Amino acid sequence: MEEKQIIEQIERLKRHKNAVILAHNYERPEVVDIADVVGGSTTLTKAAAETSADMIIVCGVDFMAETVAVLNPDKKVIMPDRGAVCPMAQQIFEKDLQEAKEKYPDAEVLLYMNTHAKTKTLADCICTSGNALKIAELMDGGSPILFGPDRGLAYYVSNRTTKEIITIPEYGYCPVHHQIAIEDLKRAKEEHPGVKVVGHPECTPEVQDQMDYIGSTSGIVEYCRDAEEAEFLVAAEVGLMHVLKKEAPDKTFYPVSNTTVCTLMKMPTLLKIREALEREKQRVVVPEEIAIEARRPIERMLEYL
């Protein structure tokens, strides 16, 4: 079947079922192009908190869909492919966090959005890569801040705040952004001398140290769109290139590494989206006793924005 026909069917089903499609910036280009809301974790969480749709199709990974479900217990939240499981969210164990909380009884717990709903129940507040620094600064509770699981984002925040940040676990990371090696960046800079480097804080500290701008996926898009420069080297997942070109069509973007692909983010396809709308399988339901506790730190994040 032709892509055009599948898109028409998706549109028809969406209208019929009062559904909305949320897509992360790293999704496939054709998915980005049909989504109602495209953005990073902050944008998608805000959209999920505000939508009046009855059904929400989440084109992203598991922790994103869980967050949408936590905020929308009465709506149908569906992933086109539940196999999209982010490895970073699996790197933090509740037991380690509980132990850290016992060791630092005055600490506040700030957890990255990239955690499971159950883990979020242990947080005082949730953050995304776009607001982690701002929220760490605004949190007025105890010290230190226990932060997890991404050590790249922890490095970014620690370098810009006077607050003490303790990372739980010590070695949490994104295997995709960590593929961007310092050698890749050096080579790209040699090939494109003088071009500004933008990138994501999930990258390694040594790669971050070479960036002119570090931000969330949406932050990178906004920065490049509004900057005076016309060319950028991008240290992020390659899916972002499509969104960058859409948002700033007159500018040129070079990926630092062409092989930086999150295969999990690419799991939703147009066919799977149509199936999700039609058959309503692969629903994401968070048990209410977990959702009630996970909602609190997510809503606190939304209040800080």
Buried b (16+ CB within 10 A) or exposed e, 141-167: eeeebbbbbbbbbbbbbbeeeebebbb
CA distance 251 to 243: 12
CA distance 139 to 42: 18
- Answer with the entry of ligand SF4, ligand 13P, none that 40 interacts with (C-beta below 5 to 8 A by kind): ligand 13P
19-24: strand order across its sheet: 37-39, 19-24, 55-59, 76-78
In this structure, are residues 115 and 70 in contact, taking their beta carbons and an 8 Å threshold? no
- What burial class does residue 74 get, using C-beta atoms within 10 Å of its C-beta: 0-12 exposed, 13-18 middle, 19+ buried? exposed
Amino acid of residue 257: S
Among 147, 153, 159, 145, residue whose Cα is nearest residue 173? 153
**Of 45, 158, 217, 257, which one interacts with ligand 13P (CB under 6 A)?**
217
CB nearer to ligand SF4: pick between 93 and 104: 93
Is residue 260 near ligand 13P by the rule CB under 6 A?
no
CA distance 305 to 303: 6
What the block records as the tokens of 163 is 């607050």
CB nearer to ligand 13P: pick between 26 and 76: 26
Is residue 204 near ligand 13P by the rule CB under 6 A?
no
CB nearer to ligand SF4: pick between 108 and 202: 202
- Answer with the entry of ligand 13P, ligand SF4, none that 204 interacts with (C-beta below 5 to 8 A by kind): none
C-alpha dist (Å) from residue 60 to 186, 229, 273: 31, 30, 12
Q: List all residues 6 or more positions away from 223 whose beta carbon is below 8 Å from its beta carbon.
A: 198, 213, 215
CA distance 139 to 108: 8
**Of 114, 121, 131, 158, which one interacts with ligand 13P (CB under 6 A)?**
114
- Answer with the entry of ligand 13P, ligand SF4, none that 211 interacts with (C-beta below 5 to 8 A by kind): none
- CB of 228: closest distance to ligand SF4 in angstroms? 29
- Answer with the entry of ligand SF4, ligand 13P, none that 87 interacts with (C-beta below 5 to 8 A by kind): ligand SF4
**Of 32, 38, 41, 109, which one interacts with ligand 13P (CB under 6 A)?**
41
Is residue 202 near ligand 13P by the rule CB under 6 A?
yes
- Answer with the entry of ligand SF4, ligand 13P, none that 216 interacts with (C-beta below 5 to 8 A by kind): ligand 13P
Is residue 167 near ligand 13P by the rule CB under 6 A?
no
* Contact stretch for ligand 13P (CB under 6 A) within 48-56, 124-132, 183-191, 204-212: 124-132
Is residue 40 near ligand 13P by the rule CB under 6 A?
yes
Q: Which residues of this protein are in contact with ligand 13P, per CB under 6 A? A: 25, 40-41, 114, 128-130, 174, 202, 216-217
